[in-house]
Amino acid sequence: MAVDSRWLLEQFQTVFGGCSGDEVWISRAPGRVNLIGEHTDYSGGFVLPVAVGHDVAIVFRPGTDRIIRLYSCDYRQMSEFCLDRILTSTDAPWSNFFRGVAWALSTHESPDGGLNEGEDRGSNNCEIEYELIGLDAVISGDVPIGAGLSSSAAFEVASAFALLAAAGMDTVILNSLESECGLNARRRIALACQKAENLFVGVSCGIMDQMASCMGKAGHAIYLDCRSLRHEPVELGLDNADAVIVVYDTGVRRGLVDSEYNRRRQEVETGAKMISGILRRSDVHTLRDVDFATFQAVGEMLPSKVARRCEHVVREIRRVENGVVALRQGTLDTFGDLMWESHESLRDLYEVSCPELDMAVRIAHETDGVLGARMTGAGFGGCTVNLVLRHALPDLVRALPGKPMRPGALEPRVFKIDVADGAKVRRL
C-alpha cells in the first residue's frame, strides 16, 4: 500500500505552491505489527515486531526561518509553530507528535535516557550534528489510526527524518540500515521519538514502536532487546511455508492517552519494585530481571492484580525467546502456538483485550489453516495479527465479521501485510 508520493507532492503544491527548482523531499516511516511480545517493552524485555507496508509520508521543503508549517491531508488542517517556542496545540492535536519530535531533537541532549549504566547504547563513534530549521510540509498516512499498528510512531519517525534532512544531516547515514553510523543514528532517532511521546504528548510508551519503524527489514522480524536496544533481523520464512501475515482491524478504537495503558505500566513497575524488596535484590530493576521460577516463588506475596500483570510479562518475555527459536528452525506451527498462548495471557492476566478481539481470535482458531492469532498493540480495541497458510486466507476473510460490531465502531477490514524496510528520506 503506502502513500502515493506523486499524489502527496501535488497536495504540497496546492497548499504551499512552487516546487519547480525547489528543494523538495519526502520522508516515509512504516507502521508496525508486533508478532509476539506485547507489553514487555517498558519492562526492558524482548519484542518481535515487523515493519509493515503501510506508512506515514511527509513531503517537505526546507525553509529559511525557524517556522514549521504543517498541513495534514488526513485532517485537512494547517498548524504552525516556531522552533524557538515549541508548545502543544489544542486546536490541532495531531500536530503534537511532530511538535514533540522537534522539541526532543531541539534539546540536543543525548536521547539515551532509560538505559542502565554499562549497557549497550549503540555505537557513539558517529556523532549526530545538526541545527534544526523551519520547513513547509504536507502529511498523509495509510496506517489505520487507533488500530494498534502504531500510526503515532510512524508519524514521529517520519517527522524526525524530515527535520534532520532539512537540517542538512547526511542522508546516506540517515538511510543506512547496515552501517554502524546509520544504525546508531536510527537508535538515537527512535529514542528521541519515544521521548517526544512520553514527555511532550503524554503517553508512557516503550521503545518498540519507534525502533520497529526505524529498523524494519523486508522479509524479517526485528528481535529487539528493549533494554540495550540491540536488535537482530530474524527471517520469517513465510514464502517457504506458503504463509502470510494478516491483520484484522476490528474497527473498535480507543484513545491511548485516556486508556488504561499507563495504569498497566504503573502496575508492572510496582510489581518489579515489590519483588526487588521481597528478594532484597538491588539488581531487580524491571520484570526483565525476574525469571519465571523466581516469580512463582514470590507471586503470592503480591496483590492479586499486580501478580497477574507481572505473570503475563514474565511469561511473555520467554515466549518471544521461544518464538525466535521457532522461526530460526522454520517451525511456524510452533510459533503459531505461542501466539495463541500470548492472546490468552493478554485476555486473562493483563486484561487488555475486548470482546471483539476475543471473537476474532476465536474465529481464527476455528479456521483450518490459521497457525496462530492474537491481539496486537496496546489493546482495548484495534487489531489482531494472524499467521495464515495462504490457501486458508479466503476462508478466514469470509469468517471474520465485516460489519461494525458496536455502536460507533468503524467497519472492520482485513489486509495482508507486506513486511517492509524501515524509514527513509529522499529528494523528489
Active site residues: 209
Strand order in the sheet with 243-249: 370-376, 383-389, 243-249, 413-416
323 sits in which H/E element: helix 304-329
Residues facing 246 on adjacent strands:
386, 416
* Rounded Cα distance, 194 and 33, in Å: 17
Give the contacts of 76 (CB within 8 A, at least 6 positions apart): none
Nearest Cα to 173, choosing from 163, 157, 162, 184? 184
Number of Cβ within a 10 Å radius of residue 112: 16
Our CA angle for 117, 119, 122, nearest 5°, is 120
Residue 226 contacts residue 46 (beta carbons within 8 Å)? yes
Nearest Cα to 384, choosing from 419, 413, 425? 413
* Rounded Cα distance, 280 and 283, in Å: 9
297 sits in which H/E element: helix 292-298
Nearest Cα to 50, choosing from 249, 185, 251, 231? 231
Residue 11 contacts residue 73 (beta carbons within 8 Å)? yes
User: 399-423 burial, b if ≥16 CB within 10 A, otherwise e?
Assistant: ebeeeebeeeebebbbbebbbbbbb
